[in-house]
Structure 1
Amino acid sequence: MLHTERLLLRPFDSTDIPDTQASCSDSLIQQWLPLPRPYTMKDATSWCMNVASALRESGDGIHFAVTDSPTGRLVGTVGLKKTDWRARTSEVGYWVSPWGRGNGIAAEATRAVARWLLTDQQFQRLELRAATGNTASQNVAIRTGFHREGILRNAGFVHTGRVDLVLFSLLPEDSAVTVMHSGG
């Protein structure tokens, strides 16, 4: 579990199923993530109860339910994937529930995971990839302190087809990580 000023990042559990289903059915999330369409209660149950923990156990990454500390309600997710333990690199991804948008949740949760990965776990590189048309996700990367590296042509896919991705990275020596580590 990871804590921020407003959020608790914890493993998914059965209480997250309804909010996961509602969030992953949202048109904006469906626009940028190739999730099942329609996203059913069965899909949400599978993610919350099996898939998220299986990804952690396989070593591929770890996916946190991002919850509002006072209420405990799911407001999004942040997770690591494509983890290379030998190279000490991983990729971060996230989505925010419709009822949580516009409050800096993605940036706050991503900062918490980045701090944990790059300082506590001593990883050497964290990547973030966002579709070129997904300006909200790119803004999260910039607000979190990631550096824009370039365009990965035809590297992603969404329901409408292939998309170019903007590649961002964060390294342990980056000033954003130093600030995060010192409590800022």
Structure 2
Amino acid sequence: MTALVVPVLEGEGIRLRPFVTADVGLIVDAGQDPLIPLITTVVTHGDEADGQAFIRRQYQRAATGEGWSFAVSDLDTGSAVGQIGLRRRDIRHGRASVGYWVGPAYRRCGYAGRALRLLTSWAGTLEEVSRLELYVEPWNEGSWRAAESAGYQREGLLRRWEKIAGGLPTSTSRHSRALPRLRHEEFLVFRSSGLRQSR
């Protein structure tokens, strides 16, 4: 696959950008969360070296063409508060999947919903993507509310969908959003409403 460029996107008081070394603390903190390490490559109770390895894996996703991984950062402070990514797993069918998490100290501030809306708007400029999908644990109210706030619709419960951390198969809810075809120039028009893209 062709290597991808991870852009910098801004809007709604947040910035989506590539991870940097200063974000290691957030990743280490995320490793203390009971769920994040089970559904991501964040190491449970990891240290600084594990955080650096996580950052390298995010860059590798773009280098191999697997997808884009962004740090979600607060526009005012510059501090990273979470992660959001777009994977091209089923791109030959026009589908891409979205995953996101917010660090425990930054929850209930609307970061997930804002990041998802910004990423979804940008994904509309990608010719190869016509549908976005995301998968949420049925009990994870914060995540499915973020999905709904970004216009995703719940399609149903996938029973015994996947094994998490080598355990038993667990069920998950699938949400999706069909994307309007936006030209890059149309996306840039959103600058006046607070959405900006930097290269």
TM bucket (normalised to shorter chain) is 0.7 to 0.9
Contact 1:63-1:79 at 8 Å conserved across structures: yes
Partner of 1:36: 43
CA distance in 2, matches of 1:7, 1:103: 11
- Structure 1, residues 56-93: CA drift from partner, whole Å, max 9, x if none? 11111111000111111111111012433332211001
Q: Distance in 1 between matches of 2:163 and 2:42?
A: 11
Counterpart of 2:46 in 1: which secondary structure? coil
Aligned residue number for residue 4 of structure 2: none
Give CA deviations for 1:7-42 in whole Å, capped at 9, x if unaligned: 111001111112211123223534665743233322
Aligned CA distance change for structure 1 residues 157 and 36 (closer, same or farther; 3 Å): farther
Counting aligned pairs with the same residue, the percent is: 30
Which residue does 2:3 correspond to in 1?
A: none
2:126 is matched by which residue type in structure 1? Q
Q: Which residue of 2 aligns with 1:7?
A: 14
The amino acid that maps onto 2:172 is L
Instruction: Indicate conservation of the 8 Å contact 1:32/1:134, yes or no.
Output: no
Aligned to 1:73: 79
| RMSD (Å) for aligned C-alpha atoms | 2.3
Q: 1:45 to 1:20 in 2, by over 3 A?
A: same
Structure 2 residue aligned with 1:127, among 130, 133, 138? 133
Instruction: Determine the C-alpha separation between the residues in 1 that align with 2:163 and 2:114.
Output: 26
**Structure 1 partner of 2:106:** 100
> Unpaired runs of 5+ in structure 1?
175-180
Aligned residue runs from structure 1 range 9-24, under 5 A: 9-24=16-31
User: 2:52 maps to what in 1?
Assistant: 45
Question: How far apart are the structure 2 equivalents of 1:14 and 1:97?
Answer: 16
Q: After alignment, is 30-39 or 89-98 more displaced?
A: 30-39
User: Which moved further from structure 2: 147-156 or 165-174?
Assistant: 165-174
Structure-2 separation of matches of 1:167 and 1:142:
12
Aligned length: 176
Amino acid at match of 2:179: P
Cα distance in 1 for residues equivalent to 2:161 and 2:110 = 27
Change (3 A) 1:156 1:135: farther
| Contact 1:126-1:171 within 8 A present in 2 as well | yes
The 3 A distance-change label for structure 1 pair 74 and 88 is same
1:151 aligns with 2:157: yes
Letter in 2 for 1:94: Y
Question: SS of the counterpart of 1:38?
Answer: coil
**Larger RCO (CA within 8 A; separation ≥ 6):** 2
**What letter corresponds to residue 137 of structure 1 in structure 2?**
S
Structure 2-normalised TM-score?
0.79
Give, as a single letter, the amino acid of the residue that structure 1 aligns with 2:156: G
1:151 Cα deviation from its structure 2 partner:
1.5
Could you list the runs of 5+ residues in structure 2 that have no partner in the other structure?
A: 1-7, 182-188, 195-199
Q: Is the contact between residue 132 and residue 163 of structure 1 (CA under 8 Å) also seen in structure 2?
A: no
Query: TM-score normalized by structure 1?
Result: 0.85
